[in-house]
């Protein structure tokens, strides 16, 4: 049968369960958009900028409800989207990127949007495909989706030349969609036995979980309970273990961790790391040395021994591997007593850290700990909290308990500012019935804040809190001591209320602690009427996060003596000379 590539693409996207596509139409994809307009199961979403589209698609995938998908123009759409594609790539998030392509049938040179898109995207995707025949459209999409979602997930790219969309051709007989890939354990029984033995014999076992463990929360809790072991998380994996579980020690490891997590791991003699690559952010700039008895579980075998040697490496899907590990684990005699002691210590450390924050004088601005405590009170347990990249990210990670797996999403290893506002929109589309709030720095807000107009157009009741400190704080804080000046990190004024007015969002502001409660009440009420709400928060950043303090120390210590002397000398000299 003769069909267009646009119609074949629509069929493929419907079959793989795509719910939303994000992008902007152009001459190379209007046929696709026209097909999508007729789909009963797919809604094409118009965005303000393809960078926003990619962050929205990323957040849809992270929400776990469907595969985040882009439909964009070639070249210019691709380069705009590249930041979000790369974020998905380094964070292990599946994403399907579809762009139109130049005509391949005319022999003309110097066509509009003519660059090698595959070369552009090769380093930030798991694979790219150029569709050359109508009959290949559906099998190519199925294969691209299989690659995106299998192993460690990631983005994939498919180019569909516009001539195949415009001119019908022989479609062949399409294969059936095989469904999502089975996620399994690939480790050997002997390795499982060894891991179980090490854990059962350990005096101070602990768990350290990342995003790869986000669908294994039940198994993690069962293991932690049986072992009486504390659980710490990475930034990206913050939601992989509930923040209100008594064995939840909190964010990070080593000196960059919250006190409960630092203490919980202090004498750890056997660490079970799940779905976490021991990357730079996860380890507070590699400021933590795991014990020799490191048991590393990951679906991607390339992460084993990459930064720290593992005693036992268990390859496979986290939930599948941990289910096997639970079966192999003998009864742990000391488990119950250790559980009580560990939980008591965690509760004590958390209370002390909270008190330390509450005692901090925010000098008339908003105390971050009080803000997050109030937000937690207002938020339902199944809410999603979306952050951007900056000081606010680590404040949220340290002070905001997350109760639901996938309930916290953050741009992590690519670490791209501008993520939050669009990702908040994507998360709300993915889970329209539950609350979605974004926390964004005033610097990152400038990058993609206008995307709130998309939330207004879609009638999405999201709440975005802009942490206004007037600086690119995560960087300016790091400039303060070594340079004693803040080059290019002090922001000019921005009228956040004006942005709200321009985009159709409800505007609220929180000037000090006394204003938190009322603003939150109003924000949640307005959001329930399906309008986006923009809240300008006069935040106090005068108290550093544990993360920032930890990584600054770790990085300084690591320099050789002459470099250290030069850096410290310059800092002292600048302090003296002003
Ligand atoms: C696209 C991009 N540009 C620059 C950076 C470097 N960077 C990391 S955090 C940060 C500061 C962010 O400032 P803001 O959004 O105001 O958040 P705050 O740290 O003040 O909470 C910067 C500039 C980055 N991560 N991503
Ligand atoms: Mg800022």
pLDDT digits (tens, 9 = 90+) for 362-398: 999 999 999 999 999 999 999 999 999 999 999 999 9
Q: How does residue 453 score in pLDDT terms, banded at 50, 70 and 90?
A: very high
- For residues 213 and 190, what is the distance between their CA atoms, to the nearest angstrom? 22
- Assess whether the C-beta atom of 415 lies below 6 angstroms from ligand 1: yes
What single DSSP character describes residue 493?
A: P
* From 119-123, 183-187, 384-388, the region with the lowest mean pLDDT: 183-187
pLDDT for position 341:
98
Cβ neighbours of residue 420 closer than 8 Å, sequence gap 6 or more: 386, 387, 388, 438, 439, 440, 444, 445, 448, 464
Would you place residue 578 in the very low, low, confident or very high pLDDT band (cuts 50, 70, 90)?
confident
pLDDT exceeds 80 at position 216: yes
Tokens 């005693």 correspond to 311
**Separation CA 28–CA 557 (nearest Å):** 53
Other Cβ atoms closer than 10 A to 40? 6
Distance, CA of 364 to CA of 342 (rounded, Å) = 37
- Report pLDDT digits (tens) over 321-373: 999 999 999 889 999 999 999 999 999 999 999 999 999 999 999 999 999 99
| pLDDT of amino acid 174 | 81
Q: What is the mean pLDDT of the chain?
A: 97
- What pLDDT score was predicted for residue 473? 97
Which of 474, 480, 551 for mutating ligand 1's site (highest number of atoms within 8 Å of CB)? 474
Using alpha carbons only, give the angle 527, 530, 532 rounded to the nearest 5 degrees: 60
Distances in Å between the Cα of 425 and the Cα atoms of 157, 439, 460, 562, 564 are 23, 13, 7, 49, 44
- What pLDDT score does 175 carry? 84
Q: Is 368 in the pocket of ligand 1 (CB under 6 A)?
A: no
Between CA 77 and CA 56 the distance in angstroms is: 15
Q: What is the pLDDT of residue 182?
A: 85
Mean pLDDT of 113-129: 97
pLDDT of residue 237: 98
Q: Return the best residue to mutate from 371, 388, 389 for the ligand 1 pocket (most ligand atoms within 8 A of CB).
A: 389
Is residue 327 within 8 Å of 200, Cβ to Cβ? no
Q: What is the pLDDT of residue 181?
A: 84
Maximum separation of any 2 CA atoms in the chain, in Å: 80
Structure tokens at 97: 């990127």
Percent of the chain with pLDDT over 70: 100
- Provide the pLDDT for residue 130: 98
State if residue 474 touches ligand 1 by the CB under 6 angstroms criterion: yes
Rounded to the nearest whole angstrom, what is the distance from the C-alpha of residue 445 to the centroid of ligand 2? 9
Map 40-74 to HEC letters. CCCEEEECCCHHHHHHHHHHHHHHCCCCCEEEECC
């Amino acid at each position: 049968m003769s069909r267009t590539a646009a119609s074949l693409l629509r069929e493929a996207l419907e079959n793989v369960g795509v719910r939303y596509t994000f992008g902007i139409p152009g001459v190379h994809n209007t046929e696709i958009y026209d097909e999508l307009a007729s789909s009963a199961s797919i809604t094409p979403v118009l965005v303000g900028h393809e960078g926003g589209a990619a962050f929205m698609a990323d957040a849809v995938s992270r929400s776990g409800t469907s595969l985040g998908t882009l439909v964009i123009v070639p070249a210019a759409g691709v380069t705009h989207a590249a930041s979000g594609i790369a974020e998905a790539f380094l964070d292990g998030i599946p994403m399907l990127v579809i762009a139109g392509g130049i005509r391949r049938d005319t022999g003309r040179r110097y066509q509009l949007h003519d660059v090698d898109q595959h070369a552009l995207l090769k380093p930030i995707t798991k694979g790219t495909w150029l569709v050359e025949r109508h009959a290949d459209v559906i099998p190519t999409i199925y294969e691209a989706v299989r690659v995106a979602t299998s192993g460690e997930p990631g983005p994939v790219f498919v180019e569909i030349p516009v001539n195949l969309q415009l001119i019908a051709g022989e479609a062949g007989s399409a294969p059936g969609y095989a469904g999502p890939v089975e996620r399994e354990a690939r480790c050997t029984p002997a390795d499982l036995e060894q891991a179980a033995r090490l854990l059962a014999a350990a005096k101070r076992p602990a768990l350290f979980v990342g995003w790869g463990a986000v669908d294994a929360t039940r198994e993690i809790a069962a293991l932690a309970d049986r072992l009486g072991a504390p659980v710490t998380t990475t930034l990206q994996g913050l939601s992989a273990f509930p923040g209100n579980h008594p064995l939840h020690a909190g964010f990070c490891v080593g000196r960059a961790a919250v006190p409960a997590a630092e203490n919980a791991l202090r004498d750890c003699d056997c660490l079970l790391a799940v779905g976490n690559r021991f990357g730079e952010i996860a380890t507070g700039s590699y400021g933590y040395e795991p014990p020799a008895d490191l048991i590393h579980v990951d679906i991607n075998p390339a992460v084993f021994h990459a930064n720290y040697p593992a005693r036992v490496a268990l390859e496979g899907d986290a939930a599948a591997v941990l289910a096997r590990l639970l079966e192999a684990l003998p009864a742990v005699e000391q488990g119950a007593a250790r559980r009580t002691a560990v939980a008591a210590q965690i509760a004590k450390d958390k209370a002390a850290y909270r008190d330390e924050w509450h005692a901090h004088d925010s000098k008339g601005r908003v105390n971050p700990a009080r803000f997050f405590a109030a937000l937690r009170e207002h938020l339902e347990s199944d809410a999603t909290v979306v952050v951007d990249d900056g000081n606010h990210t680590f404040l949220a990670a340290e002070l905001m308990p997350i109760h639901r797996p996938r309930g916290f999403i953050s741009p992590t290893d690519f670490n791209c500012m501008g993520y939050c506002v669009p990702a908040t929109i994507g998360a709300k589309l993915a889970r329209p019935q539950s609350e979605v709030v974004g926390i964004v720095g005033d610097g990152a807000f400038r990058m993609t804040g206008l995307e709130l107009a998309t939330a207004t157009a879609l009638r999405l009741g999201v709440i975005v809190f802009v942490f206004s400190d007037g600086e690119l704080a995560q960087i300016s804080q790091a400039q303060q001591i070594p340079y004693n000046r803040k080059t290019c990190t002090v922001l000019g004024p921005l009228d956040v209320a004006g942005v709200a007015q321009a985009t159709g969002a409800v505007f609220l502001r929180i000037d000090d602690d006394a204003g938190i409660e009322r603003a939150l009440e109003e924000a949640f009420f307005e959001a329930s009427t399906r309008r986006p709400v923009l809240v300008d928060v006069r935040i106090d950043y005068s108290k550093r996060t544990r993360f920032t303090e930890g990584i600054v120390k770790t990085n300084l210590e690591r320099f050789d003596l002459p470099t250290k002397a030069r850096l410290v000398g310059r800092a002292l000299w600048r302090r003296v000379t002003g």
